[in-house]
Amino acid sequence: MVKITIIGTGNVAYHLGKRFKEKGFDIAEIVGRNAEKGTQLATLFHTHFQNNFKKIKTDSDLYIIAVSDSAIENVAKNMAQSLDNQLVVHTSGSIPSTVLQPYFKHYGSFYPLQTFSIGSQPDFDIIPIFINAIPSFSLSPHGQDFTDFLKKIALKISPFVYELSDEKRIVLHIAAVFVNNFTNHLYTIGEKIVAQEGLPFDVLKPLIFETVNKIQKHSPQDMQTGPARRGDTVTIEKHIDYLGENTPPQYLDVYKILTDSIIKKS
Amino acid sequence: MVKITIIGTGNVAYHLGKRFKEKGFDIAEIVGRNAEKGTQLATLFHTHFQNNFKKIKTDSDLYIIAVSDSAIENVAKNMAQSLDNQLVVHTSGSIPSTVLQPYFKHYGSFYPLQTFSIGSQPDFDIIPIFINAIPSFSLSPHGQDFTDFLKKIALKISPFVYELSDEKRIVLHIAAVFVNNFTNHLYTIGEKIVAQEGLPFDVLKPLIFETVNKIQKHSPQDMQTGPARRGDTVTIEKHIDYLGENTPPQYLDVYKILTDSIIKKS
């Protein structure tokens, strides 16, 4: 049975660990600082919690660092007190895996492209996983090609596995910021605007769902509609007047820039 | 049986007409310029197509103008050759219903908040409809309060009917632009960015679906994540560098403005 150690106690650690456990992996240990969360996860995954980096078990087949971007390097440094020749990856979209290079002989990344939260069950059957193994063709201590090993593990939890360099993963993460973080912010603005008119956010939801529904089968470029797409300057001017007088200045900036960008594309 | 005349042969005319027909309304006539599309719709709705505005049937209970914003006024002018005392509404989010005022005694709007396209079947059971009847309390020629009449008709095709003034409907439409047109444009940018790295748009779809999934139960404001929300300036700088060097200038503008707006909100 493949043994995986998970470092971290947040949403990514929880959902990844849960999926690995469901797929028959042995979670060797949960390592972290938050004893309460760590113990909870360890109980769920039938393993134990370790908060002393000097005592980390050294015989796992893979170590997955699933902590916030800013904590990765420090965690790696702490892990290096016990580990050296083991396979260590992190799950970040925006941090190069080379941040692990000073500490481990075999390092890489294991990036599931999804936004994880406690309340929502991710569907790993559709989530793509991007892997990166350095040195990619070296043999691991287990006599296996590192890339092949990571790919095999990823394929146990998702059918969509891609090998992707650090550079390309960072670009992918930028695209993710546009379609996830930025669209969510547009939903927030939409909610604020209808609230000003005494309407619930619910009135916008069917439109939001349909916008997403359309891109299941079509390229979003072909689905673009609205005043900017039509070059309807009369409507655009009315919107600008309203936003300028009734909303925070950044809403108007967002409106202008996105309208401009759609016009340039059309 | 309530008789409805539909003016227009596009997506809104098609989907509204189809829903009315399914709910037992009599489509008295399809009126428009596009004979091919108009005849198709008329056949579907067991009615006939009329392209001569002077010959419009004058005994319908309601006339719904479902044409593009820029064509509404001209269509109204043409209709006024035959009609006068009838009830006439348009389906636009951004055009005030008063554009109909010079031509008809009873006018208003009937705005289903959804993006309609031929390939996708809208679910009217969740689509909100916003109505506006002017003069709102006058009696129609049928001896009924106009607002009540419109509301009753709207409630036959959707459970979510709101009375909303022209001014408020235009604000609602601005919110719709943010959550529909603008998010679709962000999807387009996302698609372009991953394509540059040789990846299909499909890799972003699970993330897009989950972003929408989260706001079903939570306010988007509480669901905001990403570098801007965290104040992660290191990642933001990396993204700005990449976008500045590798993508059209408007992508960078969009990134900066939305990042800035999220930071101001946080």
CA distance B134 to B165: 10
Tens of pLDDT, residue by residue over A137-187, are 666 555 678 999 999 999 999 999 999 999 999 999 999 999 999 999 999
**What are A255's two structure tokens?**
């409106």
Confidence of residue A35 (pLDDT cuts 50, 70, 90): very high
CA distance A175 to A173: 5
Residues 14-53 of B with CB under 8 A from A: none
pLDDT for A48:
96
- Collapsing DSSP states into helix, strand and coil, what is residue A234? helix
pLDDT, averaged across chain A = 95
Q: Is residue B245 less than 8 Å (CB to CB) from chain A?
A: no
Beta strand A161-163 with A26-31: parallel, antiparallel or unpaired?
unpaired
Share of chain A above pLDDT 90, in %: 92
pLDDT for A210:
95
- Is residue B19 over pLDDT 90? yes
By Cβ distance, the residue of B128, B224, B250 closest to A185 is B224
Record the pTM.
Answer: 0.94
- Collapsing DSSP states into helix, strand and coil, what is residue A96? coil
- Is residue B27 over pLDDT 70? yes
- Containing A30, the helix (H) or strand (E) segment is strand A26-31
pLDDT, averaged across chain B = 95
Q: Do A179 and B204 touch (CB under 8 A)?
A: yes
- Is residue A265 over pLDDT 90? no
By Cβ distance, the residue of B175, B210, B220 closest to A114 is B210
Q: Do A190 and B211 touch (CB under 8 A)?
A: no
Which residue bears the tokens 């289903």? Answer: B112
CA distance A150 to A156: 10
- Is residue B144 over pLDDT 80? no
Q: Is residue B122 less than 8 Å (CB to CB) from chain A?
A: yes
User: Testing the interface with A: which of B127, B163, B173, B181 to mutate, by most A Cβ within 10 A?
Assistant: B181
CB-defined contacts A:B, below 8 A? 306
Q: Do A214 and B120 touch (CB under 8 A)?
A: yes
- Is residue A215 over pLDDT 90? yes
CA distance B61 to A233: 34
The C-alpha of B80 sits at a distance from chain A's nearest C-alpha, in angstroms, of 25
Confidence of residue B265 (pLDDT cuts 50, 70, 90): confident
Closest to A94 (Cα-Cα) out of B228, B211, B134, B213: B228
CA distance B185 to B193: 12
Provide CB contacts within 8 A for B28, sequence distance 6+.
B3, B4, B5, B47, B57, B59, B60
Closest to B210 (Cα-Cα) out of A214, A127, A215: A127
pLDDT for A117:
86
Share of chain B above pLDDT 90, in %: 92
- Containing A191, the helix (H) or strand (E) segment is helix A183-196
Confidence of residue B143 (pLDDT cuts 50, 70, 90): low
Q: Is residue B128 less than 8 Å (CB to CB) from chain A?
A: yes
CA distance A155 to A149: 10
User: Testing the interface with A: which of B174, B254, B259 to mutate, by most A Cβ within 10 A?
Assistant: B174
pLDDT for B176:
98
What residues of chain B lie within 8 A of the CB of A67, using their CB? none
pLDDT for A230:
92
Sheet with strand A129-134: strands edge to edge: A49-50, A26-31, A3-7, A62-65, A87-90, A106-112, A129-134, A161-163
Q: What is the mean pLDDT of residues B56-83?
A: 96
- Is residue A13 over pLDDT 60? yes
Q: Is residue B138 less than 8 Å (CB to CB) from chain A?
A: no
- Is residue A25 over pLDDT 60? yes
Question: What does the longest C-alpha to C-alpha distance in chain A come to?
Answer: 68
CA distance A10 to A115: 12
pLDDT for B60:
96
pLDDT for B137:
66
- Is residue B140 over pLDDT 60? no
- Collapsing DSSP states into helix, strand and coil, what is residue A103? coil
User: How is chain B classified by DSSP, letter by letter?
Assistant: --EEEEE--SHHHHHHHHHHHHTT-EEEEEE-S-HHHHHHHHHHTTS-EE--GGG--S--SEEEE-S-GGGHHHHHHHHTTT-SSSEEEE--SSS-GGGGTTT-SEEEEEEE-S---TTS---TTT--EEEEEESTTSBPTTSSBHHHHHHHHHHHH-S-EEE--HHHHHHHHHHHIIIIIIHHHHHHHHHHHHHHTT--GGGGHHHHHHHHHHTTTS-HHHH--SHHHHT-HHHHHHHHHHHHHHS-HHHHHHHHHHHHHHHHH-
Please name the residue of chain A whose CA is at the shortest distance from the CA of residue B239.
A174
Residue A109's beta-bridge partner residues? A90, A132
Closest to A28 (Cα-Cα) out of A66, A55, A52, A2: A2
| Length, in residues, of chain A | 266
**What are B38's two structure tokens?**
């108009």
Q: Do B203 and A162 touch (CB under 8 A)?
A: yes
Closest to A199 (Cα-Cα) out of B168, B151, B156, B126: B168
CA angle A202, A206, A211 (to 5 degrees): 130
pLDDT for B119:
80
The CB-side HSE value for B177 (13 A sphere, CA atoms) comes to 29
Residue A23's beta-bridge partner residues? none
Tens of pLDDT, residue by residue over A98-145, are 999 999 999 999 999 999 988 889 999 999 999 999 986 666 555 678
ipTM: 0.94
Using CA atoms, how far residue A245 sits from A192, B94, B262, in Å, is 15, 17, 20
pLDDT for A135:
83
CA distance A95 to A231: 40
- Is residue A36 over pLDDT 70? yes
| Length, in residues, of chain B | 266
Q: What is the mean pLDDT of residues A43-57?
A: 97
Q: Do A181 and B225 touch (CB under 8 A)?
A: yes
Tens of pLDDT, residue by residue over B39-50, are 999 999 999 999
Confidence of residue B141 (pLDDT cuts 50, 70, 90): low
What residues of chain B lie within 8 A of the CB of A175, using their CB? 189-191, 193-194, 204
CA distance B100 to B96: 8
Q: Which residue has the higher pLDDT, A35 or A1?
A: A35
Share of chain A above pLDDT 70, in %: 97
Q: Do B224 and A188 touch (CB under 8 A)?
A: yes
pLDDT for A118:
82
**What are B151's two structure tokens?**
């509301």
Q: Is residue A240 less than 8 Å (CB to CB) from chain B?
A: no
